[in-house]
A and B are shown apart, each in its own frame.
Chain A
Amino acid sequence: MSAYAWVVLVPLAGAALVPLFALAGPTARYTFANLVGFATAGLALALVPLTSAGTGVAFRWLPGLADFSVFRDGLSLFLVLIAGCIGALIVLYSVKYMERERDLTRYYSLLILFIGAMVGLALTSNLLILYVFWEVVGLCSYALIGFFYEDPKAARAGLKAFLVTRVGDVGLLVGILTLYFSVEPHTFDLGRLMELAAQGGIPPVALATAAFGFLFGAVGKSAQFPLHVWLPDAMEAPTTISALIHAATMVNAGVYLVARTSPMFAGVPGWLAAVAWVGVVTAFLSATLALVEPDLKRLLAYSTISQLGYMLFSIGVGGVLASQFHLLSHAVFKALLFLCAGAVIHEAGTRNMYEMGGLGRHMRVTAPCFLVGALALSGVPVLNGFWSKDLVLSAAWHQGQYWPLAVAVLTAVLTAAYSLRAYYLVFCGRKGPEVHEAPAVMTGPLVVLAVGAVLSWLLVGPQSRLLEMVGYAPHAISALELIRETGTSPVLALSLGALALGLGIYAWARDPGARVTGASPALALVLGRAYGFDGLYLWVVRGVVRAGRALLRGLEGAVLDAANYAVSALTVAGGRAGRRVQTGDLNRNLVGVALGLVLMLACLFGIFLAFRGRGIWS
């Protein structure tokens, strides 16, 4: 079990030690950070042969209450691998990308802590520890999104991410505590709770409360409708952090939690439907927003929200394997897209896609890599996104969930359209700024991830086998079987049709969003305001602040302050009255002494009378 402990302890200790190595200079700092990052990735890979069904205790922390017990199954393993390996690539990429920034000790320390917390979150089977890591992940995201804290936009974005996800976290905490107190003896161990739930040992009301609480927590963390508003703003972070949040950590946590608990909560009436509809509505809404977004990183953020919607949708229609498979694909191609975007922004000096254009001629490595990512996102065959999206759609098809499936297919059309739009605006077309290709330490991870985007679907064999072992997948399928199943399924027509429609839109207009909003000012207004969620939340928050201010005035001014004034007035009046006693006259003082003595004697006498005969004198 010690590997399970090390894979968490190494990054946590590494995060604490970064400042120490920073004393030896910037080179030692990033060397150490990379060592820790790759050691974590190596330890994550070392977990592969240990994987089996069931749980185990990695080390005892608070015995009986919060032991660091771990899930040893494939569901956790893949998340740990994604966090560890993609995290390591991002640490490497940061060396060059961030070299001119200040405060890199804080940066590397939080980066590694982020990875470590995500690994712990994915591994632990103890809900209390899961919640702790869940919050550490939230804290790291806050601190890293607001890394350039001197920029008020970044500071606000960090705060927004923190507060919005906190709303979801309340749901998660309620869910955890409900589960804890609903069983006898109380336990935080998720494995045990799932066994109990399967035996009907948890009251239905408690189970339903926990189910929707967990879903709400996941909605906050995975940026789903209606708590998705923090993710686009989080693009104020350094691009490396965006890549980390979108691909390796943070947003995957919510999807993972829902997938992990889905066997437990599947019996709760309406829960699966809620998961599916939340996912698919989110996927559709954010895809429409991605069509009109001028900011490259925000476009990618909307696409992440959309793809996470697919994952939740997939869980909602019973396809946990499909959701995790899509999570893996998405992690790879989204990390690729973000790191490409990072290279582009690094060189072009802007995030507005309308100020770019024609960069493909200069960036001979980044442009094809971005294209691979965009095509994988669109679901072009043989790239990983194609297989996983197809699996998601066929999960819904086999369950007969045609209405959400229709929305999902429509989203796939839009996905292809906005992916190609982004590629076109950045790399093709008219002459843009003169740029150079990014240095090798930045393009290196791009190439690795591009190869991953082409090949990662081959992992479906081990992934489905591992998930089948713990009951999250109906049966194991090898890559060959995946090809056969996909090729002979009617769903293929859906996904290829969606792709063809998306390409058709691209053929009709390179920037379809601009053309549509140009024709319809009303739509332009609605999409420009992102359906008004920000406005609504701002209105609510302002209302709360205003009510708070009124309360402040009413309670603080009229009651608390008034009480303080009364006390001080009383004191002053008492002082004025009592001042007459202080004559300084020797005779009066002596009389006072004598009277005091008399008083003391009277008191003693009173005590004597009160306790006489009770045997305390002898």
Chain B
Amino acid sequence: MTWDMATLWRSDLAAVVIMVGLGLFCVATQRNLIKVLIGIEVLARAVTLCLVSAGLNLDKQGVASALTIVCITLDAAVVAVALALVVNAARHYGGISARRLTRLKG
């Protein structure tokens, strides 16, 4: 088995699948809002990895790099906003468990 581009692509895809599975599992099972956020971040990293890997495989590294950087930058913003929401939710409901967030109207 040689480490050619196709193999690399396949192993990267395997990693992506594993990371998506982990992320979803985390999102589906964790009650702690911070942990849910971490799960979302794992999903986002899986997407980033998918982009990089596709760029390598299709020989479009430039585009892939640009998209990856945009992705990371946006993700930072998303995390910032999400954390702010978590802080507010925690203040409002007195805790950071997702179970407290079941009412439609705060």
Contacts and interface: CB of A to CB of B under 8 A. Distances in A.
B102 A587 contact: no
B34 to A, nearest CB: 13
A584 B105 CA distance: 11
A57 to B, nearest CB: 73
Interface stretch (B2-10, B22-30, B44-52, B63-71): B22-30
A24 interface: no
User: Size class of B's contact patch?
Assistant: 10 to 19
Nearest to A591: B28
B99 interface: yes
Nearest to B28: A591
Contacts of A591: 24, 27-28
Interface in A577-606: 583-588, 590-591, 594
A590 B102 contact: no
B53 to A, nearest CB: 18
A600 to B, nearest CB: 15
Contact of A586 (B24, B36, B104): B36
A587 B30 contact: yes
Interface in B27-46: 27-31, 33, 36
Contacts of B101: 584, 586
A95 B28 CA distance: 89
B106 to A, nearest CB: 12
Interface in A552-588: 583-588
Interface in B63-106: 98-99, 101-104
Contacts of B29: 587
A590 B27 contact: yes
B99 A590 contact: no
Nearest to B30: A587
Q: Is the interface of A mostly helix, strand, loop or mixed?
A: helix
Contact of B31 (A583, A584, A587, A594): A587
B46 to A, nearest CB: 13
A473 B99 CA distance: 102
Contacts of B33: 586
B24 A587 contact: no
Given A586-B36, A587-B30, A594 B24 contact: yes
A583 B104 CA distance: 10
Contacts of B103: 584
A174 to B, nearest CB: 64
B102 A585 contact: yes
Given A590-B28, A591-B28, A583 B98 contact: no
Contacts of A588: 28
Nearest to A590: B27
A91 B24 CA distance: 89
Contacts of B98: 585-587
A588 B31 CA distance: 11
Contacts of A590: 27-28, 36
A591 B24 CA distance: 8
A594 B27 CA distance: 10
Nearest to B36: A586
Nearest to A593: B27
A587 B27 CA distance: 6
Most chain B CB inside 10 Å of its own CB: which residue of A584, A585, A587: A587
Contacts of A586: 33, 36, 98, 101
Nearest to A585: B102
A587 B104 contact: no
A590 B31 CA distance: 12
Nearest to A587: B28
B102 A594 contact: no
A468 B32 CA distance: 108
Most chain B CB inside 10 Å of its own CB: which residue of A586, A588, A590, A591: A586
Nearest to B102: A584
A78 B45 CA distance: 97
A583 B36 contact: no
A588 B99 CA distance: 11
A587 B97 CA distance: 11
Interface string A378-409: 00000000000000000000000000000000
Interface in A161-182: none
B28 A594 contact: yes
B30 to A, nearest CB: 7
A598 to B, nearest CB: 10
Nearest to B99: A585
A586 B31 CA distance: 8
Nearest to A582: B104
B41 to A, nearest CB: 14
B29 to A, nearest CB: 7
Most chain A CB inside 10 Å of its own CB: which residue of B28, B30, B36, B103: B28
Interface in B9-27: 24, 27
Contacts of A584: 101-104
Interface string A431-467: 0000000000000000000000000000000000000
Contacts of A594: 24, 27-28
B33 to A, nearest CB: 8
Contacts of B104: 584
B61 to A, nearest CB: 25
Nearest to B27: A590
A584 B98 CA distance: 10
B91 to A, nearest CB: 17
Contacts of B102: 583-585
Nearest to B101: A586
A550 to B, nearest CB: 50
Nearest to B23: A594
A583 B102 CA distance: 7
Contacts of B30: 587
B43 to A, nearest CB: 9
A519 B29 CA distance: 106
Most chain B CB inside 10 Å of its own CB: which residue of A583, A585, A590: A590
Nearest to B104: A584
Given A584-B104, A587-B98, 18 more contacts: A583-B102, A584-B101, A584-B102, A584-B103, A585-B98, A586-B36, A586-B98, A586-B101, A587-B28, A587-B29, A588-B28, A590-B27, A590-B28, A590-B36, A591-B24, A591-B28, A594-B24, A594-B27
Shortest beta-carbon contacts, A-B, top 3: A584-B102, A586-B98, A590-B27
29 contacts: A583-B102, A584-B101, A584-B102, A584-B103, A584-B104, A585-B98, A585-B99, A585-B102, A586-B33, A586-B36, A586-B98, A586-B101, A587-B27, A587-B28, A587-B29, A587-B30, A587-B31, A587-B36, A587-B98, A588-B28, A590-B27, A590-B28, A590-B36, A591-B24, A591-B27, A591-B28, A594-B24, A594-B27, A594-B28
